[in-house]
Structure 1
Amino acid sequence: MKAAVAKAVVAGAVSESEVVEVEGACCGAKHVTKVKDPYGFVFALDSNNSTTVIDDFSSDQRGRLYSKYVCFPKVVKKERNTANKKMGLKVVSSAIISFSLLLLLASTAKAQSNGVFDVTKYGGKEDITEALNNAWKDACASTNPSKVLIPSGTYSLRQVTLAGPCKAAIELQVDGILKAPVDPDQFSGGHWVDFSHVDQLTLSGSGTFDGQGNVAWSKSTCSKDKNCEGFPMNIRFDFVTNGLVRDITTRDSKNFHVNVLGCKNLTFQHFTVSAPAESINTDGIHIGRSTGIYIIDTNIGTGDDCISVGDGTEELHVTGVTCGPGHGISVGSLGRYPDEKPVSGIFVKNCTISNTANGVRIKSWPDLYGGDASNMHFEDIVMNNVQNPVVVDQEYCPWNQCSLKAPSKVKISDVSFKNIRGTSATPVVVKLACSSGIPCDKVELADINLAYSGSEGPAKSQCSNVKPVISGIMSASGC
């Protein structure tokens, strides 16, 4: 791997050096200055500033390009900067620049095999932050489809942004366990790992993103303060297109596990979210201002919404998801901020929700700002001991952070709940509390078969400011 050598010769970045004696003359040089660049690679300058000696250091076991000393006369000259104790290197031969570029190309080939860029070949050991950044940079520059590999093992990873655009399709395969810094104060911004502006992205593997969020949860003030400090999310997808996330696990995030913003055609399949019920503000997957998002055969257990849908979401398809513990699958909350974009085309089907605070829910804030949510359909949902299985709540006001004096300004229309069955932990199995200012329109309830066996009487439904069309089985009277 001579990429770092070539970079050091061209760029002149040097971290440490020592004078050594070469056994036997090398291009006439007896004493040389051995230099280690910031990447950990070694080359040398003779005492006359006229010869570069590249050392193979075979004991390093990094697959050196050369098996013996190779000398290039009149390559560089040496300069010292006493202020920062670094040595600057300047290329004085255009021919050698060309050779250095050839070295760089050869080294890149050495760093990757068949399009696979292994972080351990970039020096990744316990902390792989720098290795991952460098491997991603090389893979992203490849004109052929590439893969960055994090093999099995346990690694520390600090905050990273893996940015595009890349020149071809790119995959990050994580087979190891990645551990975030425990202290939330070590982060700037709202993420731990961020994929930004990447087309044809795949995130795959049997690995885990462990946010180690216990300390952050104990510091959270979000249950009392609407302006609470936002802790980092485990994974962000910002402006990713044509992407696939499969088989990966995210665990114990300090904040949302996954945030999807400005994305198009992104699929989550066989994805796992794991956090205890008491973890605060740890939504499983939050989607906002995105189109064509698919969540398929995914298992989510967390301390907040399993899936939450923000403004500007269109064509969201959720199929085969198991949810619990958590707060269910929610559209919203909406109407909290000005200039929110419409929500449309939400399809939740064939899901199982167990031991959660809510089942399927649409929620908006009263009094504040306007919005629109339409074409939302929930079908073939099994509820197991779920509180509030079917909910439209346009008086959503957690921790008394708003006023109930004025109705919600969010328009909700074209909504259906079909074939919802199972058991409820509360007697009100259907609650449609729509806005008195803008009543819900075109709401359908079909085959709602939810049993309640507690001491508070038979199962019932409650409806306000809405006239739903009811068909098939309706186990709870009231609407």
Structure 2
Amino acid sequence: MTHVLLKGPCKAPIELSIDATIKSPVKPEDVGGNEILRIDYANAITISGKGVFDGQGSYAWKQNDCSKKFSCKLLGMNFAFNYVNNSIVRGITSKDSKQFHVNVLGCKNFTFDGFKVTAPENSANTDGIHIGRSTGVNVLNTDIGTGDDCVSLGDGSKQVLVQNVKCGPGHGISIGSLGKYKEEEPVDGITIKSCSIKGTQNGVRIKTWPSQPGTITVTNMRFEDITMDNVSNPVIIDQEYCPWNQCTKQYPSKIKISNVIIKNIKGTSATKEGIILACSSGVPCEGVEMSNVDLKFNGAPAIAVCSNVKPKITGKVPPCTAPSNKKQ
């Protein structure tokens, strides 16, 4: 199937029931748009069934040059929902997208329930569900394995719940990256709860760029009841995020992070540092609370490395230690 655009406003609720496998053309230029299915300016949309949207992305992944270019070419997504309200996607599978599987922009009261994302670990920039400038988005009972973030939350994300999600392989569940652009909007009220993360490059993460113009706030973050299984960097605030060395760390991040709850995190870490809180020296993190964090590395307790933050500790939590050297 080539690109399909459903554009509202619609006069009544619409339900799309899909049980077939829908395949995208292999080459991005043959799709006819940036997505297989795009829905704009609609209300009360339901997409349900056992259907599979197959982006056939392996050809496009070989063309991905984002590791070499600061601004790289968009290769195509399986789904885009732009300014869609009071809607739900239930039971559908997104497979092998050329780039992001799902992009959610400007939506309100939008839910994914029983959704599935599948792509190999080496599929670059294939974020499972990317959310931006949206309020009241729920990602529930969902299984995501891909080559980038399982769920990524961009600027303007507010009142988002990610609950009972299985993540892995991939890069974990991330807020950000943030601060790259001056005109970004604040992030507020994100809850990641009752999730299991396995074999990923990160667990739960907040990432912001140094030496970039963005000055938004990130507040009221909650990471709770999460099980890690052989996860690198299980809990990380990285305010020196600089992928592929495409930036300088000369100036600290201007993004203010506050009111972060890290609670009931258990399991195994693939790195000695189970917790990394690398906050900005320009605007240190405030209101960070950690309680009941039990992470093991090779059978021994993982450590916490903290800079520019003084977290409140309750229960069993590894004590903060200073970084031994600058994070690369």
Which TM-score bucket, shorter chain as reference?
over 0.9
2:286 maps to which of 412, 423, 441: 441
Match of 1:172 in 2: 16
Cα drift, residue 187 of structure 1: 3.7
Cα separation, partners in 2 of 1:433 and 1:358, compared to 1, 3 Å: same
How far apart are the structure 1 equivalents of 2:182 and 2:318?
Answer: 39
Unaligned runs of 5+ in 1: 1-156
Which is greater in Rg? Answer: 1
SS in 1 for 2:11: coil
Q: Contact 2:3–2:33 (CA<8 Å) still a contact in 1?
A: no
SS in 2 for 1:298: strand
How far apart are the structure 2 equivalents of 1:348 and 1:459?
Answer: 21
Per the normalisation by structure 2, the TM-score is 0.96
Q: Contact 1:425–1:452 (CA<8 Å) still a contact in 2?
A: yes
Match of 2:226 in 1: 381
How far apart are the structure 2 equivalents of 1:474 and 1:411?
Answer: 24
2:191 is aligned with 1:347: yes
Write out aligned runs for 1:276-295 (5 A).
Answer: 276-295=120-139
Match of 1:201 in 2: 45
2:76 is aligned with 1:213: no
Match of 2:167 in 1: 323
1:465 maps to which of 293, 302, 308: 308
Match of 1:56 in 2: none
How far apart are the structure 2 equivalents of 1:313 and 1:190?
Answer: 22
Q: Contact 1:179–1:212 (CA<8 Å) still a contact in 2?
A: yes
Q: Contact 1:298–1:321 (CA<8 Å) still a contact in 2?
A: yes
Cα drift, residue 192 of structure 1: 2.1
Q: Contact 1:199–1:241 (CA<8 Å) still a contact in 2?
A: yes
SS in 1 for 2:309: coil
2:143 is aligned with 1:299: yes
2:100 maps to which of 231, 250, 256: 256
SS in 2 for 1:239: strand
Q: Contact 1:459–1:477 (CA<8 Å) still a contact in 2?
A: no
SS in 2 for 1:240: strand
How far apart are the structure 2 equivalents of 1:209 and 1:247?
Answer: 12
2:251 is aligned with 1:406: yes
Give every structure 1 segment of 4 or more consecutive aligned residues whose post-TM-superposition deviation is greater than 4 Å.
none
Match of 1:271 in 2: 115
Match of 1:4 in 2: none
| Structure with higher RCO (Cα < 8 A, 6+ apart) | 2
2:51 is aligned with 1:225: no
Unaligned runs of 5+ in 2: 323-328
Richer in helix (by share): 1
SS in 2 for 1:215: helix
How far apart are the structure 2 equivalents of 1:477 and 1:398?
Answer: 25
Q: Contact 1:289–1:311 (CA<8 Å) still a contact in 2?
A: yes
Write out aligned runs for 1:73-222 (5 A).
Answer: 157-222=1-66
Cα drift, residue 337 of structure 1: 1.0
Q: Give CA-to-partner distance per residue, 1:281-309, whole Å, 9 cap, x none.
A: 00000000000001110000000000000
How far apart are the structure 2 equivalents of 1:235 and 1:401?
Answer: 28
Cα drift, residue 223 of structure 1: 1.4
How far apart are the structure 2 equivalents of 1:190 and 1:443?
Answer: 39
Number of residue equivalences: 321
Match of 1:238 in 2: 82
Q: Give CA-to-partner distance per residue, 1:398-447, whole Å, 9 cap, x none.
A: 01111100000111001110000000000000000000000001001111
Match of 2:201 in 1: 357
How far apart are the structure 1 equivalents of 2:17 and 2:78?
Answer: 16
How far apart are the structure 2 equivalents of 1:378 and 1:460?
Answer: 18
How far apart are the structure 2 equivalents of 1:188 and 1:342?
Answer: 34
How far apart are the structure 1 equivalents of 2:36 and 2:216?
Answer: 31
Cα drift, residue 346 of structure 1: 0.2
SS in 1 for 2:29: helix
Per the normalisation by structure 1, the TM-score is 0.66
Q: Contact 1:209–1:251 (CA<8 Å) still a contact in 2?
A: yes
How far apart are the structure 2 equivalents of 1:385 and 1:188?
Answer: 41
Q: Contact 2:306–2:320 (CA<8 Å) still a contact in 1?
A: no
2:254 is aligned with 1:416: no
SS in 1 for 2:43: coil
Identity level (%): 55
How far apart are the structure 2 equivalents of 1:473 and 1:438?
Answer: 28
Q: Contact 1:178–1:210 (CA<8 Å) still a contact in 2?
A: yes
AA aligned to 2:180 is R
